Amino acid sequence: MPNADVDRASSDISSPEEVQRQLERILSSPEFRLPERAGRFLEFVVTETLAGRRDYLKAFTIAQAVFGRDANFDAQQDPCVRIEAGRLRRELEHYYLTAGAADRVVITIPRGGYAPVFEVRQGAQPADMPQTGQAVPLTPPADEGQQGARAADTDGRDKANRRVAWSRYWLSAGGAAVVFVAAAAMLQHGGTFKTENDMPSGAVGHPIIVVERFESASGSGVASDISRGITDDIIEKLVPFNDIVVAAALPRNREGQWSSQPIYALQGSIRLEGETLRSTARLVRRADGTVIWANNYDADMKVQGVLQAQAGLAEDIATAVARPFGVIFETDTASIAGNADAFSCILSYYSYRSEMTPQAQEAAKSCLQHAVEKMPDDSNVTAFLSLTYLDEFRFPYQLNTKPTAATLAIAKELAERAVRLDPKNARALQALMLANFFGNDPTEALRAGEAAYASNPNDTEVAGEYGLRLAMSGKWDRGCELISEAVGKNAGPQGYYEVGMALCAFMRGDIQAAELWSRMSDLNYNPMHRLVLLSILGTLGKSAEAKEQIDWIEARSPALIPNVRREVVRRLARIEDQERFFSGLEAAGLPVQNDQPAN
């Protein structure tokens, strides 16, 4: 029997078979870039919904059907279903922005649950106009209350084409757009500014985000108040990100032209639907009017209250826009990187961290060195140069570096200088944390990490790295909570923090979950990731698969093998954690040498 929801909600789709064909189209598309497990996830939830079993789609049942978990699965301890659902939502968004832009049937998985919603587009709009609200729902959205509080991921379904008419989004410096700038922004950048020449030196060269007042689509006084409040909240959340500048209006130079710096307009709207607060947001590149990012967000005001729901949406939007390795740092890398300004060098760093090649690391390091020479008072570029030196300690077998005590001393001096220049710069404090961690001073490392997280808890890179240092220092509960938070917010580089989740599961004795997380990580990013998987496989007794990992390490990173003990001890502070890790390696067939080779 066809699903009653489908039949009742649409006369355009003759049967669930059309939804099934759309599912097959998505799974076979090269633009659907997730592994086979994500495909099984999507196929399972779609099939169950079409069969009338949407209420069956809980984290527990999905964990058993898709992830092979047993009856002891605990969604609070093992967030694999939530994390994979967030990734799946983002990948569906990507698909409908690319290969599926003209597809008639739209499949989404609303936040707060795992049951998909099927929609059909009615008619087509011109290619240069956004697709706004032109879909008829085929199934009702999942009850968000069934899954408790909002999931931690920051992505919903895209509602706009990537190209829009520039006339629609023209930004007026004089008055059409109402822009609010929080007092914190004035303190951060020395007050609001109207021209490029008014900017503090630390702001020149950085991307500028003009936050326009979010529109109220409901017409009520409450909605209007929320639209003003969420605008202010977004600005407040954006200000601590030192890589960007929040401006009151588009700055002009002395000749009256628009600033040559990359400029973006953050636009959006809110509407009330019963107890649900819905918000749409989009980031528009001023230079050509392209919508480079767009998302929907929902919050249940009955569960959270109006102010908490408003603040939560503002946090999600600000984090999605400004997080490291996020939309701004991905979109304009090709067009901006290579220039001589500070932001171009920061883009080079993010680009190198995504590529992880010796050539990219050297290019970023050279660029940042020149930037520090030109701008010795810029805390941000100094911090990124420190991180580049520190990466020679973190990734020596990937970057083919031979770090010395002198290298670490340079990194620490740069981190300390960056903190002196700006004691609240989260990136500078992150650099200081890593310098102290690899300098075998965990107490000072965690103190700096705590300060970095307090300075900007929405910085996913800070949350993830601080979580890793806490966990490896033996504070597994708090550390793993922060790592999970970072993964849930799509922290980058892709597949980097998943290895932290693997360690978290491994240390709590959930070896099956540890293997899953390890295979979700980017095993080619760093040979140490392979070492984690090897210890897990050894613990599980999977000798054949362990042999494959040993063969890979011997072929691709032979220098790691005689240095395994040193590298593990450098990272895991507690003896019991070290021994558990070594026991897995030895069970896998990799002897762990006791002697420590010199640096």
Which string of DSSP letters, residue by residue, matches 129-193?
S---S-EEESSPPP-GGGG-SPPS-------S-SB--GGGGPPPSSSSS-B---HHHHHHHTS--
Residue 137 above 70 pLDDT? no
Residue 334 CA: distances (Å) to CA of 290, 338, 357, 365 = 16, 8, 17, 18
Q: Is 297 helix (H, G, I), strand (E, B) or coil?
A: strand
The dihedral over CA atoms of 412, 415, 419, 422, expressed in degrees to the nearest 10, equals 160
pLDDT in tens, 345-384: 888 899 899 889 999 999 999 999 999 999 999 999 999 9
> What pLDDT, on the 0 to 100 scale, is given for residue 199?
52
Amino acid, res. 149 = A
pTM strictly above 0.95:
no
Residue 173 above 50 pLDDT? no
* Local confidence band at 180 (pLDDT 50, 70, 90 cut-offs): very low
Contacts of 178 (CB under 8 A, 6+ apart): 212, 213
* CB-CB contact of 26 with 88 (8 Å): no
Measured between its terminal Cα atoms, the distance across the chain in Å is 69
* Local confidence band at 66 (pLDDT 50, 70, 90 cut-offs): confident
422: which 2 tokens?
């700006």
> What pLDDT, on the 0 to 100 scale, is given for residue 508?
93
Q: Which residues of 403-442 are buried (b: 16+ CB within 10 A; e: fewer)?
A: beeebbebbbebbbbbbebbebbbbbbbbbbbbbbbbeeb
C-alpha angle 298-302-307 in degrees, rounded to nearest 5: 70
> What pLDDT, on the 0 to 100 scale, is given for residue 332?
55
93 Rama class: left (phi>0) / alpha (psi -120 to 50) / beta = alpha
| Residue 208 burial by Cβ neighbours in a 10 Å radius (0-12, 13-18, 19+) | buried
- For residue 258, give the DSSP letter: B
- Cα gap 577→313, rounded to integer Å: 38
| Number of neighbours of residue 73 by Cβ within 10 angstroms | 21
* CB-CB contact of 348 with 514 (8 Å): no
Q: Is 242 helix (H, G, I), strand (E, B) or coil?
A: coil
Residue 190 above 90 pLDDT? no
**Mean pLDDT lowest among 87-96, 242-251, 419-428, 586-595:** 242-251
- Cα gap 396→428, rounded to integer Å: 22
- Residue-range domains of the chain with CATH: 4-147 (no CATH), 166-322 (3.40.50), 333-449 (1.25.40.10), 457-599 (1.25.40.10)
- Cα gap 419→383, rounded to integer Å: 8
Please, what is the average pLDDT of the chain?
A: 79
> What pLDDT, on the 0 to 100 scale, is given for residue 368?
94
pLDDT in tens, 447-502: 999 999 999 999 999 999 999 999 999 999 999 999 998 988 888 888 899 999 99
Q: What percent of the chain has pLDDT over 90?
A: 45
Residue 182 above 80 pLDDT? no
> What pLDDT, on the 0 to 100 scale, is given for residue 177?
28
State the number of CA atoms in the 13 A half-sphere of 31 facing the CB: 13
158: which 2 tokens?
């895209």
Top-confidence range, 113-117, 173-177, 379-383:
379-383
| Stretch 63-81: mean pLDDT | 77
> What pLDDT, on the 0 to 100 scale, is given for residue 331?
63
Query: Largest Cα–Cα distance of the chain, in whole Å?
Result: 73
* Local confidence band at 65 (pLDDT 50, 70, 90 cut-offs): confident
399: which 2 tokens?
């970057």
> What pLDDT, on the 0 to 100 scale, is given for residue 259?
53
- Cα gap 479→490, rounded to integer Å: 17
Residue 130 CA: distances (Å) to CA of 78, 133, 165 = 38, 9, 9
Give alpha helix (H) positions in 323-425: 327-331, 333-336, 342-355, 358-374, 379-394, 396-399, 405-421
Phi, psi of 258 (to 5 degrees): -60, 145
* CB-CB contact of 533 with 545 (8 Å): no
| Residue 163 burial by Cβ neighbours in a 10 Å radius (0-12, 13-18, 19+) | middle
* CB-CB contact of 91 with 74 (8 Å): no
Q: Given the structure tokens 């407040």, which residue do they identify?
A: 236
Name beta bridge partners: 283.
266, 293
| Stretch 81-86: mean pLDDT | 82
| Residue 155 burial by Cβ neighbours in a 10 Å radius (0-12, 13-18, 19+) | buried
* Local confidence band at 132 (pLDDT 50, 70, 90 cut-offs): very low
| Stretch 387-398: mean pLDDT | 96
Residue 159 above 50 pLDDT? no
How do the residues of the chain divide into helix, strand and coil, expressed in percent and rounded to 5? 55, 10, 35
Contacts of 7 (CB under 8 A, 6+ apart): none
> What pLDDT, on the 0 to 100 scale, is given for residue 474?
96
| Stretch 525-554: mean pLDDT | 96
